[in-house]
Each structure stands twice: as structure tokens, then as C-alpha cells.
Amino acid sequence: MSTFAEIYRKIEQYSTIILHRHTSPDPDALGSQAGLARSLKLKFPEKRILCAGENDEGDLIWINKMDKVTAADYRGALVITTDTANTARIANDLYRHGNLLIKIDHHPDVEPYADMSYVDDQAPAASQIIADFLIEENLPLTPAVAYPLYAGIIGDTGRFMYPETTAHTFNIVAKLAATGINITEIARNISDVTFVQAKLQAEVLDYMKVDPCGAAYAVLSKDALAKLGVDSNQASCTVATPGRIKDIIAWNVFVEKPDGTYRVHYRSKGPVINELAAKHDGGGHALASGANAQDLAEVKQIFAELVQVTKEYQKKHE
């Protein structure tokens, strides 16, 4: 694994740097990408620093907006991915045209796809790693830089609820907050939903099926989303809803995409689920992961696997 110093030296060598994150982005994907890009722009105003994606920011466009990039931009360019464990999830395939690829991530390194990498799977958020990098290498940490990084950390720690949160996390967010960012505004932006999203959160409980072992799932079809005027990206607001129910310890939310395939959300209060996600073109954290399903048959298979893992977990903890 590369050090921060080695990555910084590579950044110094390139005049064009293009940052990618994962598709269907969450606050950490956008926050880590934006925080690094903004700091590098301040440090190196003579360089071209671009944020690339698939223009799928959705309700999170307040964190960052993508730049327009073409294949020509990648000639001789350094490409950096943040918060992206495997190549299948990198937003925008143009990243392949770069000269050198660096991976900065906090997921288990199941696919070491880059020329250089810094992966810390104990960190609760890629945004925390980026903040560490900026501080260690004495790069600019202004309010504009701190704002998306704070959003990313808040998002991936579940407001400091998840077990990966450490004292170091609080030290980092204290430094980000000290820049003068509006932390109340960030928290509200992450938690606020539209009225139709609130209705969908309520309806997901009607769709939900619960196994006696404590595993649950809900399928949100294209028709159900269209009825409320919600797209598949906005439907991500439903992912945490089943977790508020005491007897549910692991769950899937399946969201049908426009092409008829399904975005699969895994969440857990104990059973390890990232290995399950890896079987279905996905991955992530032990208790929060994402994957994909081609059809309802695969949806059924995925939930059967979740039930099995949940039963094994329950047996161990009887």
C-alpha cells in the first residue's frame, strides 16, 4: 500500500487530475471526491482538477456537482478514485483512459485494481481518510473543503452511530467544524426528505416481508415509484426504515431501476453482509453494503442468502 507522501508526490507530477467516485453516490462518495478536488484546486491553481461521474448526484447535488469530461481529458492524466471498492462500481468508464490510477478507499480491498492505493478498512468513511491526507500533507482545509468532508463522515457513520466511529473520527470532525462550516445545515440536508419520499418511507413497511429469524426485505417496483413521482435514486431514503423496527436485525431493500434490474441495499445490526453483496456484483462494509440483481429470481436468491446468514448469527448469539 502506498503512503500519503507517495500519493502526494504523484499528484505533484501531473498537470491534469480527474477524480472519480462510485455510481449511485452517497454523501461519502461525493464528499470525499469533492473535498480532495477543492483542496487540490487551492493548492495547485495551475492544474486542471476535474470531478467525474455519471451526473447521478440526485438529492445530494448540494454536496458536489460533476464536471463535464471527455476521453481527451484523460490523455496523460492522473485518475484518483475515492470510496470505490471495485471497478464495476466506478462511475464513468472513462477512468480507464488515464495514465495512472490511484485508489483511496475504506472498504475491504477485495479488488486491488489501481496502480497505487491507500486503503484503510478500519476508517468509517473515505472522507475521513481524505481529511487525514489533507492534514498530514498540509493541504488547504477551508470551509469549502471541509463542508463535503463533514457531510461524508456524517453520512457513513450514521451520525456517529456505527461501530467504526472512533475518537479519531471526532478529532477530525472537530477540525472540520472549526473551519466555520454550518454543521446544522449539513445534518438537515442529509436527513430532510420530500413529502413523497416520506410517503414512500411509510409505504415500504407495507411492502416489507419479515422472516422469523429477523431478516426482512422490501421490493420497490418501478410502478410504485412512478405512482409517487420518485425515481430510483430518491428511493434510497427508504434504506434505513426497516432498521427502526426492534425485531429486524438484517434487511434488504430492492429498488427497481429503469432498465428492470434492481439496486440492492443490504443493512445489518449484526450479521456480516458484505460477503453476500460481493456475490452479486457489489460489496461494502460488514453492516452496510450494496449490490445488483438482474431479476426477481435473483432478488429471491439474495434474500434467501440473507436469511441463512441471519439464522447462523442468531444461533451463535442465543
CATH architecture of the domain formed by 4-190 = Alpha-Beta Complex (3.90)
**DSSP reduced 3-state for 20:** strand
Would you state the torsion angle of the CA atoms of residues 42, 11, 109, 54, taken in this order, to the nearest 10 degrees?
60
C-alpha–C-alpha distance, residues 282 and 181, integer Å: 34
**DSSP reduced 3-state for 102:** strand
Non-local (6+) Cβ contacts of 282 within 8 A are 89, 264, 266, 289, 290, 291, 292
- pLDDT tens sequence for the chain (318 residues): 899 999 999 999 999 999 999 988 999 999 999 999 999 999 999 999 999 999 888 889 999 999 999 999 999 999 999 999 989 889 999 999 999 999 999 998 989 999 999 999 999 999 999 999 999 999 999 999 999 999 999 999 989 988 889 999 999 999 999 999 999 999 999 988 788 888 888 888 888 999 999 999 999 999 988 888 887 777 888 888 898 899 999 999 999 999 999 999 999 999 999 999 989 988 888 888 889 999 999 999 999 999 999 999 999 887
Domain boundaries, the chain: 4-190, 195-316
b/e for 130-166, b at 16 or more Cβ within 10 A?
Answer: bbbbbeeeebebeebbbbbbbbbbbbbbbeeebebbe
C-alpha–C-alpha distance, residues 179 and 107, integer Å: 28
pLDDT in tens, 123-182: 999 999 999 999 999 999 999 999 999 999 999 998 998 888 999 999 999 999 999 999
CATH architecture of the domain formed by 195-316 = Roll (3.10)
CB atoms within 10 A of CB 201: 17
Instruction: Tell whether pTM > 0.75.
Output: yes
pLDDT in tens, 273-289: 999 998 998 888 888 88
